[in-house]
Amino acid sequence: MRILAVGAHPDDIEILCAGTLAACKARGDDVVMAVATDGRMGHKEILPPELSEVRRREQEASCKILGAELIWLGIRDEYVFDNEAARNIFIDLYRRAKPDFVITHWNGCYHPDHRGVEKLMWDAGFVSSVKHIETALPYHPAVTPFFHMEPLAGVDFIPTEYVDISPYIETKKRMLECHQSQLKWLKDHDGIDIVEFMTTVARFRGIQAGVKYAEGYRRVQTWPRGTPQRLLP
């Protein structure tokens, strides 16, 4: 299968679903990691134009560890809005990636960019299948199954499916550690060690699922996105 994971910022995917993506790679899937924004606002000292380049390099390094394809959408950080231009960007994301299923943010996330990405992904996932909606790429005739990954710390999020990431927790850590600019930013801005934070959440979800480490998801079951089989590894 082809799996498309979409995060609002560089490092979102690593924090929230990289273990699952590693499990997908292990079973032979193709993995596409798409990052919506350029992450230019995520630092106190590095100025935005320079930081956007730093964060792209960090994301490239993370994708290389996994062997994933990177799609960098380059929307300005903190400005993910649902408008015609943004919708066309996300339509073409589907048409380029041609996923068998999508993983992206939950619509109850704290961050407006996360919620904006979820809405654009949800809407574009249907519209991309409409042949006479013309964008840069030809239409993709499928309405893709859709999973929400949990928000940071999992507040108010009750998973309906779990993935055992115990064999892949070190890969997940290595991918997250590629984002050195954010390890510093999150410590300065929020007072957290994001690697420890991520590991703690994975351990908690593991306890719920009866394994060492896990990631939790909610599958959106609206028609016509349903299938009878399990898609997550």
Task: Render the burial of 118-127: b for 16+ CB within 10 Å, e for the rest.
Answer: bbbbbebbeb
Number of structural domains, the chain? 1
Q: Does residue 227 lie in a domain region?
A: no
Q: Does residue 81 lie in a domain region?
A: yes
∠145-33-87 over CA atoms, to 5°?
A: 65
Domain CATH code at residue 158: 3.40.50.10320
Q: How far apart are CA 155 and CA 126, in angstroms?
A: 28
**226 has pLDDT over 90:** no
Q: Does residue 192 lie in a domain region?
A: yes
- Digit-coded pLDDT (tens) for 158-195: 999 999 999 999 999 999 999 999 998 888 888 999 99
Q: Does residue 232 lie in a domain region?
A: no
| Least confident span in 26-30, 43-47, 191-195 | 43-47
Q: Does residue 88 lie in a domain region?
A: yes
Domain that holds residue 144: 2-220
Q: Does residue 93 lie in a domain region?
A: yes
pLDDT score, position 45: 85
Residues contacting 122, CB < 8 A, separation 6+: 107, 146, 220
| Least confident span in 136-145, 186-195, 215-224 | 186-195
